[in-house]
Structure 1
């Protein structure tokens, strides 16, 4: 059966310029469940590319080309309407909210009712090995636990694609492998196209997909 080439994340002739100077150009498709790795030195435009995909590109930059997700052109949609999740090297958990409160923030508004939302949060915690952690203060978690909560908060918003901005760079070697395997495993199981930017060759190898050098 032929693959539907509309599915996945398509960067169609995307170029980004600053003050008239072209920073980067990319034309590629990331299939569902595939990990594309973008590598390059600091200042090469890796994070700027992610900002263009999520719709958060600062006004000083100019972008041409189109961003398509499962065949839909999302280039001009507001960030929250694109359904593209992103993980950064810092977990960015809300310190004034419990673990459960952080997850509730990410939960899709389509899940209605307090009982249904609580059940979804409890199931999500079970999925990442943190049963019973809903009432915990994020400040009491280990680095690996915080990384897992940040991942699940993003996944609860039901994204259709996943971006990783040096997402594993602050974890120690053992944790890095665990969290990386968790992220890539979930992405493949949910058939999410993944674009990761990284300096780390091990991250690229773990992704198992094509590599683009900027």
Structure 2
């Protein structure tokens, strides 16, 4: 009996330790939660993939994200989507309205992961009914399939073709700092939190830029 009790306690202790390790001391319980914690602790650099889009001449994504004194809230979508991408568009329209009133240096960027289909002209047509103001909200794509795959993998964006021209994909608001690094990931329901965090980063970036100019 004693051996059984001791063995059970040992297994329980081992399981507790493994669970603590796997969940970052029980701070998260899901893979997505773990990813978001890792991003917050260790900002993710963006690979130098080539992008173009609405009002965007071909350039690398890091170049697009590193406007001095600015930070970026980005999402991933595709124009043929009839489900979650509509919610993303609505969220970004609300963010744009807020930024039009008080914008300390936050820009919005919607990136298509269907780069072979979503040409700059098609992105422009998609953006028009959303009322996207290019001064605040731009649309981009990565045309090269290999570069697109590398970007999605680096940022932890899951995209699974369904075989009928549509995709299953995760949806979130990604915040990039003035150095072009992904620093936080927020749920769609946390758009106000994402906006407040981005505004805070932008003010910090502008202070740093002003101090460097002195």
- TM bin, normalised by shorter chain, reads under 0.3
Between 1 and 2, higher relative CO (CA 8 Å, sep ≥ 6) is seen in 1
Larger helix fraction of residues: 2
Q: TM (normalized to structure 2)?
A: 0.25
